[in-house]
């Protein structure tokens, strides 16, 4: 019997400008994406200054976003989001993968075969830099893994053991080979590394940004990044290399894309002779 929990999520984002700036239309990717294990009880968004107009849209990858635009210059952009959800425990292994997807080559290594009708859609999720050092990471698991599930589980756990998870305040994402060489990285660095490893083996995967609630933390929650791999029959399977586990009921995705930069929580620009400063705060509580 599943256990239901209710979470209250407060997310505040503040951009301050040295001088007044005229803001371009802003894309806000802070609305929870649809997943079967949680329900959105309430969602409230407050934006300052008061937008001239706003609406809710879907982007090309099915992510819900809020679009706001302004008519007057401002020295601050503040976005306050409060979300209440109920989430229920589930078995992350409760799926069946289409067996025609799994193949073995002549040396006994597992390979993957997407049906022709799915291949055009999955092309962006298979595109990788084809680096030799990345291609070698999964080599030992290709022959010893019993099936796709064990391959995904073992590889995710291996990346977790190989690379230490660190908090890295600097923006951007490291190249996968840098994360591998440094043997450490932020959650977004480890996610991008795992994505490139999976893609080098012919597994479509995407970058996911969202919340990962940790009951042991009373504060200092922040946006988290993880991976989803696509397997026919099962759909997208969540993998977190920061913990070395499949994702559970405490993972609340906000955006997923073949490119990490397309999951940024706020996207927009400004016009004016000024610089900007970003501050962000996330609080997640069980209620």
pLDDT (tens digit, 9 = 90+) per residue, 214-267? 887 666 678 999 999 999 999 999 999 999 999 999 999 999 999 999 999 999
Q: What pLDDT score was predicted for residue 2?
A: 59
C-alpha dihedral sign at 94, 37, 259, 160: negative
Q: What pLDDT score was predicted for residue 182?
A: 95
Contacts of residue 192, Cβ cutoff 8 Å, sequence gap at least 6: 173, 174, 176, 179, 207, 260
Average pLDDT over residues 139-149: 89
Helix (H), strand (E) at residue 108:
none
Q: What pLDDT score was predicted for residue 217?
A: 67
Contacts of residue 269, Cβ cutoff 8 Å, sequence gap at least 6: 23, 24
- CATH 2.60.40.2250: does it fit domain 4-89+264-286? yes
CATH number of the structural domain 99-248: 3.10.620.30
How far apart, in whole angstroms, are the C-alpha atoms of residue 245 and residue 221? Answer: 19
Q: What pLDDT score was predicted for residue 220?
A: 62
Q: What pLDDT score was predicted for residue 44?
A: 97
Secondary structure letter of residue 241 according to DSSP: T
Q: What pLDDT score was predicted for residue 8?
A: 96
Q: Is the pLDDT of residue 39 over 70?
A: yes
Domain with CATH 2.60.40.2250 in the chain: 4-89+264-286
Contacts of residue 252, Cβ cutoff 8 Å, sequence gap at least 6: 7, 9, 32, 35, 38, 85, 87, 210, 211, 212, 213
CB 263 within 8 A of CB 31: no
pTM strictly above 0.75: yes
Average pLDDT over residues 79-84: 98
Residue that is written with structure tokens 């809710």 in the block: 56
Q: Of 246, 217, 229, 211, which Cα lies nearest the Cα of 32?
A: 211
Domain with CATH 3.10.620.30 in the chain: 99-248
Q: What pLDDT score was predicted for residue 158?
A: 96
What percentage of the chain carries pLDDT values higher than 90?
A: 83
């Amino acid at each position: 019997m599943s256990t239901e929990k209710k979470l209250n999520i407060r997310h505040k984002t503040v951009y301050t400008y040295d001088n007044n700036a005229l803001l371009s239309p802003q894309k806000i990717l802070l609305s929870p994406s649809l997943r079967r294990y949680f329900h959105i009880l309430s969602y409230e968004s407050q934006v300052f200054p008061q937008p001239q107009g706003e609406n809710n849209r879907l982007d090309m990858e099915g992510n819900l976003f809020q679009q706001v635009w302004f008519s007057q210059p401002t020295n601050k952009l503040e976005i306050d989001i409060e979300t209440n959800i109920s989430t229920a425990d589930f078995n992350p292994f409760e799926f069946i993968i289409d067996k025609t997807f799994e193949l073995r080559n002549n040396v006994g290594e597992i390979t993957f075969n997407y049906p022709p009708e799915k291949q055009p859609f999955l092309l962006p999720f298979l595109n990788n830099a084809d680096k030799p050092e990345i291609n070698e990471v999964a080599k030992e698991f290709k022959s010893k893994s019993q099936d796709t599930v064990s391959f995904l589980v073992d590889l995710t756990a291996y990346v977790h053991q190989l690379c230490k998870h660190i908090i890295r305040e600097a923006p951007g994402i490291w190249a996968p080979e840098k994360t591998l060489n440094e043997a450490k990285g932020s959650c977004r660095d480890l996610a991008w590394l795992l994505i490139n490893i999976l893609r080098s083996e012919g597994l479509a995967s995407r970058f996911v940004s969202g919340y990962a609630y940790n009951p042991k933390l009373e504060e200092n929650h922040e946006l988290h990044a993880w991976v989803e791999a696509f397997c026919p029959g099962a759909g997208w399977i969540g993998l977190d290399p920061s913990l070395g586990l499949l994702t559970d009921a405490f993972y609340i995705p906000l955006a997923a894309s073949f490119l990490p930069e397309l999951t940024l929580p706020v996207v927009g620009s400004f016009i004016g002779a000024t610089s900007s400063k970003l501050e962000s705060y996330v609080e997640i509580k069980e209620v």
